[in-house]
Amino acid sequence: MQYRSTRGNRGNSLNSPQAIIKGLAADGGLYVPTSFPQVKLPLAQLPTLTYQATAELVLSWFFDDFDQAQLQQVVNTAYATQWDDANIAPVSDRHGQNYYLELFHGPTLAFKDIALQVLPRLMTKSVTIEKINREIIILTATSGDTGTASMRGFSDQAGTQVIVFYPHGGVSPVQLRQMLGQRGQNLTAIAIEGNFDDAQTAVKKIFNDQQFNQRLLANDYQFSSANSMNIGRLIPQIVYYLSAYGQLVQRGAIRNGDPINFVTPTGNFGDILAGYYAKKLGLPVNKLICASDENNVLTDFFRTGTYDRRRDFYLTNSPAMDILVSSNLERLLFDVYQEDNQAIQKLMAALNTTGHYTVAKQVQQQLSTTFAAGFATQDQVIEEIKRIYDQDHYVIDPHTAVASFVAHQYQTNSGDQTPTVIVSTASPYKFPETVLTALNGQQPTTTGLVAIKELHHQLQTPLSANVESLFNEGQRKERVIELAVMENTIAELLHLS
Ligand SMILES: *Cc1c(COP(=O)(O)O)cnc(C)c1O
């Protein structure tokens, strides 16, 4: 299986280990298969397969440069006892009209663990396959979830180091606790004086600094990236869409072959794109519903065909979805434009220079046969958490609440009765301050671990082992630096000559 850039020629391709190590193509495009796997999805078997077996199957379709024993080792170690639930991604009972696909039973309590337990393992194997004897430096800017999940995934993975930059005072108390509590010898998290955008821009600049890259090579290091554009993160996410379907068949909620809907809380468009790939592989998906918060650039896009980033940016109570440029959308466009890389180049150039683009009419029409979209305001998020709790004593986090609200609104407006799965991306204990506000009608006086205790006390349900472990981790001292010294700090950390 070869991979090419969404903006480059088909002939210019890499194998999967190379694409995983590179992360992003040099022309700015994203790696996609040169020909999408033509497989017969074993639909009837899905209900009987373990999560690990399903994962091994999906990975073998996309990453056939790895042998079966390697893939098996990857999934069996990625989805092992670090998960609170033996099903890895269990589907809840029906609450209200809908099921909730719980993707938050991993070590950092959010769905990024699903991919970031796999990617580091694929990365170390890729390095071996490609016979690279340099150490891989994963450089990341994070507003919270990506940083913690990357550190956890790469912790003590041989031949790798992770350096995470986050905005000082700009991540949640629980996320800060998670980052400073990481134990691996190869992990560093550093706060910068600035906001997330500052961190992100500076990291991109360092990535593209030719001189600095040369210096790294001379010291037997090379950069790579664990961000959600990496194909090694996207493919493992297809698995839970298949697994959810199998679980619903197994419990008799649907019959094999029946269509279902998914509603996905969306930021960078990686999660929902994996759902699209699952449908492309043959999963009976009726609608994929793209749920956004007040940064509703995607809602407008699916409704009008115009993507327009020229708007105010809001920091909301669903911070992982506060995004105006959803990078993975490019892979969807590539598919609906029938792999026309020049068309993609033009759209992305327009986005870059003018801040907006409009897709062709028939493309918009085609998208609307599969996708619907909606958004929730912060107040609606609060109300939705309360509504679902009052109805059923089921507690959801703010990101999940965005999707839950959009699902309810869509079902009311469209009358669509298709069985629907809400993709639940974070544990309510990861955002206890917002959840307590919703349940009690007022902001709690506590934050972080104390707020978790308060929520636990109120709900009277046992804490999972992964939530418990937050209380047992030691804490490193926070280190804060100026933006201007980021590159020097990396050089110092790596003892570059
Ligand atoms: C990252 C994240 C999202 C958004 O997922 P994308 O793949 O970026 O669309 C939603 N919810 C949570 C909790 C996340 O961490």
pLDDT tens digits for range 94-115? 998 899 999 999 999 999 999 9
What count of other Cβ atoms lies within 10 Å of the Cβ of residue 205?
12
109 CA to middle of ligand 1, Å?
A: 12
Q: Is 247 in the pocket of ligand 1 (CB under 6 A)?
A: no
In sequence order, which residues have a C-beta less than 8 Å from that of residue 397 and are 6 or more positions away? 104, 385, 424, 425, 426, 427, 428, 430, 431, 434, 435
pLDDT at 90 over 90: yes
pLDDT at 40 over 90: yes
Q: Is 110 in the pocket of ligand 1 (CB under 6 A)?
A: yes
pLDDT given at position 283: 98
pLDDT given at position 198: 85
pLDDT given at position 118: 98
Which of 497, 37, 442, 16 is closest to 238 using CA atoms?
37
Over residues 420-431, the pLDDT tens digits come to 999 999 999 999
Integer angstrom CA distances of residue 185 from 162, 178, 189: 10, 15, 12
For residue 491, name the pLDDT band (cuts at 50, 70, 90). very high
- The residue-averaged pLDDT of 359-380 equals 97
Give the residues across from 95 on adjacent strands: 98
pLDDT given at position 208: 84
- The residue-averaged pLDDT of 374-394 equals 97
In sequence order, which residues have a C-beta less than 8 Å from that of residue 155 and are 6 or more positions away? 182, 183, 184, 186, 187
pLDDT given at position 227: 87
The string of DSSP letters for 436-461 reads HHHHHSS--S--HHHHHHHHHHHH--
Mutational test site, ligand 1, from 109, 111, 273, max ligand atoms within 8 Å of CB:
111
294 CA to middle of ligand 1, Å?
A: 15
Q: Is 321 in the pocket of ligand 1 (CB under 6 A)?
A: yes
Q: Is 268 in the pocket of ligand 1 (CB under 6 A)?
A: yes
For residue 225, name the pLDDT band (cuts at 50, 70, 90). confident
Over residues 175-199, the pLDDT tens digits come to 898 999 888 899 999 999 988 878 8
pLDDT given at position 182: 83
pLDDT given at position 400: 98
- The residue-averaged pLDDT of 232-261 equals 98
Integer angstrom CA distances of residue 26 from 22, 23, 29, 234, 274: 9, 9, 7, 19, 23
For residue 26, name the pLDDT band (cuts at 50, 70, 90). confident
- Three-class DSSP category at 93: coil
For residue 475, name the pLDDT band (cuts at 50, 70, 90). confident
Q: Is 237 in the pocket of ligand 1 (CB under 6 A)?
A: no
Q: Which percentage of the chain shows pLDDT scores above 70?
A: 100
Q: Is 233 in the pocket of ligand 1 (CB under 6 A)?
A: no
Burial class of residue 463 (count of CB atoms within 10 Å of its CB; 0-12, 13-18, 19+)? middle
pLDDT at 473 over 90: no
Measured over all CA atoms, what is the biggest interatomic distance in the chain, rounded to whole angstroms? 65
For residue 4, name the pLDDT band (cuts at 50, 70, 90). very high
16 CA to middle of ligand 1, Å?
A: 24
Q: Is 290 in the pocket of ligand 1 (CB under 6 A)?
A: no
pLDDT at 172 over 90: no
Distance in angstroms (rounded) separating the CA atoms of residues 30 and 19: 9
In sequence order, which residues have a C-beta less than 8 Å from that of residue 56 and are 6 or more positions away? 68, 71, 72, 75
Distance in angstroms (rounded) separating the CA atoms of residues 294 and 462: 33
Q: Is 148 in the pocket of ligand 1 (CB under 6 A)?
A: no
- The residue-averaged pLDDT of 74-80 equals 98
Average pLDDT of the chain, as a whole number: 95
pLDDT given at position 7: 96
Q: Is 228 in the pocket of ligand 1 (CB under 6 A)?
A: yes
Q: Is 112 in the pocket of ligand 1 (CB under 6 A)?
A: yes
pLDDT given at position 482: 96
Q: Is 425 in the pocket of ligand 1 (CB under 6 A)?
A: yes
Whole-model pTM: value is 0.96
426 CA to middle of ligand 1, Å?
A: 9
- DSSP single-letter state for residue 476: P
- The residue-averaged pLDDT of 284-309 equals 97
Mutational test site, ligand 1, from 178, 269, 399, 405, max ligand atoms within 8 Å of CB:
399
28 CA to middle of ligand 1, Å?
A: 22
Distance in angstroms (rounded) separating the CA atoms of residues 397 and 76: 28
203 CA to middle of ligand 1, Å?
A: 20
Burial class of residue 338 (count of CB atoms within 10 Å of its CB; 0-12, 13-18, 19+)? exposed
pLDDT at 228 over 90: no
Q: Is 270 in the pocket of ligand 1 (CB under 6 A)?
A: yes
